[in-house]
Structure 1
Amino acid sequence: MEETMKPPKVTLVVGPRERFSYTQTSLESIYANTDYPFDLVFVDVCSPASVQTYLQEKSQEQSFSLLTTDHYISPNQARNVGLRYVLDHTDSDYVVFIENDVIVKRGWLTQLVNCAEETNATVVGPLTCIGNPAHQVIHNAGGKSYIKTEVKDGQTRRRIKQSAYLTGRAIADVSDQLQRTQCDYVEFHCMLVRRDIFSTIGLLDEGMLATREHIDFCFMVTQAGGHIYCEREAIVTTDTLGLASNKAGLMAWFGQLKLPDFKWSDLPYFMVRWSDAWDRASLDHLRQKWNLAEDKYFTKRYAGLGSRRHELLIKPVVRFLTLGKGNAWLEKRLIALERPLNHFWFNRYARRLRQAQFSKTV
């Protein structure tokens, strides 16, 4: 009698994106809509008391591992907390990194595993949608990202070339393009990774604090000889509390004249997570690590420091105050006022962190 092959083992590592208030909805979605067996590790980075209580109760109910930190840490640092646990305590064949604001469509994990097994892919990402209603507007369907070496006037420059597939398109309009596709990168909103790659490349780079982590990681995988796919039949949605990435979604948001969709308890982490300091440090680290020229790719992003805060905090306030009309002057003034506030907030976080670390060494 032939021995039945056991399905590959999978552990999900759930970590923070930018806020905590969607944690329950996201986690309930995973348990309700995942038909492939999995273990789960949740990395909680100082969420509010109500969320901590929910996670403690849910971890007992579903028997998942709940790991906590005593201060805010970056998404890559949180992923490494979960990854170390998986590598040390499980024999999982795959790790799935998924952020705490993602909701999933039934069949998502089965499709990711099937793609990895059938293609021998190292990394597989789903079709990631954005906004509300869920699973309708595409945020990421994979993309191109590579380093091109150019020689000009006797000088050699290394530059990132990057483009995304199908971003902003409605799923209903591109149904003929929703097949698995080999690509250069997928994003950390949700990403399945073959366990054995970490014995080659090590843990995630914690110098990537806030932005471009997925580009850096996929460069590392490709450099190690790995292959990356987007399985477009697996569908998840991120940022369901934020803006949709198409014009219709933006107009619907503005038409509602809503203030920022945050709870007060979300703001402290959000301000650190998207701080100018972490954004700038991430871009500097990426450029230096891969010996890249400070070209338009970087100058554009340096000029756009704080854009996530402006998008989700300032612009909704301006639209609300102007009854949906918008006002460029007011927006610029609020940005000018918010930036030093963000610096103050981050410096306060950094000072408290240094004090806590010093206390541990005494």
Structure 2
Amino acid sequence: MNLPEIPQVTIVVVPRERFSYTQESLTSVYKHTTYPFKLIYVDVNSPAHIRDYLAEQAKQKQFQLIRTEKYLSPNCARNIGLREVTSKYVVFLDNDVVLTPGWLEALVECAETTGATVVSPLTCQGTPVHAEVHCAGGETGVKVEIKGETTRRKIVEKIYLQGKRVEDVQPQLKREETGLAEFHCVLVRTEIFQQIGLLDEKLLSTKEHVDLCMLVTAAGGTIYLEPESIVTYVPGPPLEWTDLHYYMLRWSDRWEFSSLKHLLEKWNLSEDEYFQNRYKRLGSRRHMTIVHPFARKFPVGHFGFRVVSKILRLLDRVLNRWITTW
């Protein structure tokens, strides 16, 4: 591929849920990206040591650093970066993602060859990195069901091959049109935002990718999977105390419930079992990553663990409501 003299790609990095993986992720960008790019880093009130690290790196590497002194949702942060983008393509990248050599060349080559509006890499999850699939494309949309005089509009969301080992599925993967891409890492043709507008900031913590994919499809755009580009997002509990407040806000009951309600109303969806199950699971991410690991520290046996977990979940809900009023 001939490399352009002026970067055709702007990478916009935003926090996903924590700050403690910032250095590993940013190091990966500069280590594995040889295709010309501009970088815009949106720092949403990171703790002092991360703030200082980013300021130093911005000076050394000459990237654009935009900092806010308050926490923002990912889509709000993405829009701050997006407003600064003048290149043909924008890549949205979360701050807990590590990359592989050639990742960006493969995404751009796919977009140039196919005319794709959105291109997703093969996105992996966890450690060891690049070993387990998180998303290899999928489906999004609205399914209309008519029974007698009743019409139901049901959300469609399906992720392909999640949890499969990369080495087991890689031989069958190929570049192809798909219906789903996620914001961990995604390349988007910038001009599409002239049709669909900026990212929806009322989607605070969940289903932002579903909304984007449905908007792109409705506007006549296409979404492709490019498995030659491999990235990994590294989820985890908040590793430092300075992660905790943002993590609790990012996965707060209020943010998630508000996001689901907005998605429901925006796309005129039926409040069916999909939404009812999501309402019941509010706080489940905090429970898995914070409450349950903490409860296991108590030597109380299996029954005691269940009791302690229940008490901690009640405390978590109270604490979470308090935190989200800050």
How far did 1:333 drift? 2.4
Answering whether residue 310 of structure 2 is matched by residue 336 of structure 1, we say no
Amino acid at match of 1:68: R
Answering whether residue 265 of structure 2 is matched by residue 288 of structure 1, we say yes
State the distance in 1 between where 2:302 and 2:63 align.
Answer: 47
Question: Is contact 2:140-2:180 (8 Å) kept?
Answer: yes
How far did 1:315 drift? 2.0
Tell me the secondary structure at the aligned position of residue 321 of structure 1. coil
Matched residue, 1:302: 279
Matched residue, 2:46: 47
Tell me the secondary structure at the aligned position of residue 97 of structure 1. strand
Question: Is contact 1:178-1:233 (8 Å) kept?
Answer: no
Tell me the secondary structure at the aligned position of residue 85 of structure 1. coil
State the distance in 1 between where 2:310 and 2:300 align.
Answer: 17
Distance change (3 Å), C-alpha of 1:324 and 1:172: farther
How far did 1:5 drift? 8.4
Within 5 Å, give how 1:91-170 maps onto structure 2: 92-170=87-165
Question: Is contact 1:319-1:325 (8 Å) kept?
Answer: no
Matched residue, 1:357: none
**TM-score of the pair, normalised by structure 1:** 0.86
How far did 1:70 drift? 1.9
State the distance in 1 between where 2:158 and 2:290 align.
Answer: 27
Amino acid at match of 2:66: L
Tell me the secondary structure at the aligned position of residue 233 of structure 1. strand
Matched residue, 1:84: 83
Amino acid at match of 1:72: Y
Structure 2: gaps spanning 5 or more residues: none
State the distance in 2 between where 1:238 and 1:158 align.
Answer: 32
Distance change (3 Å), C-alpha of 1:180 and 1:56: same
How far did 1:324 drift? 9.5
Question: Is contact 2:238-2:247 (8 Å) kept?
Answer: no
State the distance in 2 between where 1:158 and 1:135 align.
Answer: 37
Answering whether residue 219 of structure 2 is matched by residue 221 of structure 1, we say no
Question: Is contact 1:145-1:161 (8 Å) kept?
Answer: yes
Question: Is contact 1:158-1:292 (8 Å) kept?
Answer: yes
CA RMSD across the alignment? 1.7
How far did 1:322 drift? 4.7
Question: Is contact 2:58-2:64 (8 Å) kept?
Answer: yes
Distance change (3 Å), C-alpha of 1:343 and 1:85: same
**TM-score of the pair, normalised by structure 2:** 0.95
How far did 1:155 drift? 1.4
Matched residue, 2:255: 278
Matched residue, 2:37: 38
Structure 1: gaps spanning 5 or more residues: 243-259, 350-362
Answering whether residue 292 of structure 2 is matched by residue 315 of structure 1, we say yes
Matched residue, 1:360: none
Matched residue, 1:58: 57
Matched residue, 1:352: none
User: Sequence identity, in percent?
Assistant: 52
State the distance in 2 between where 1:274 and 1:199 align.
Answer: 30
4+ aligned runs moved over 4 Å, structure 1? 322-326
How far did 1:176 drift? 1.6
How far did 1:123 drift? 0.3
Matched residue, 1:24: 23
State the distance in 2 between where 1:79 and 1:144 align.
Answer: 23
Answering whether residue 314 of structure 2 is matched by residue 345 of structure 1, we say no
State the distance in 1 between where 2:134 and 2:313 align.
Answer: 26
Question: Is contact 2:238-2:244 (8 Å) kept?
Answer: no
State the distance in 2 between where 1:335 and 1:181 align.
Answer: 43
Question: Is contact 2:96-2:234 (8 Å) kept?
Answer: yes
1:106-150 superposed Cα distances (whole Å, 9 cap, x missing partner): 111111111111111000111111111111011111111120111
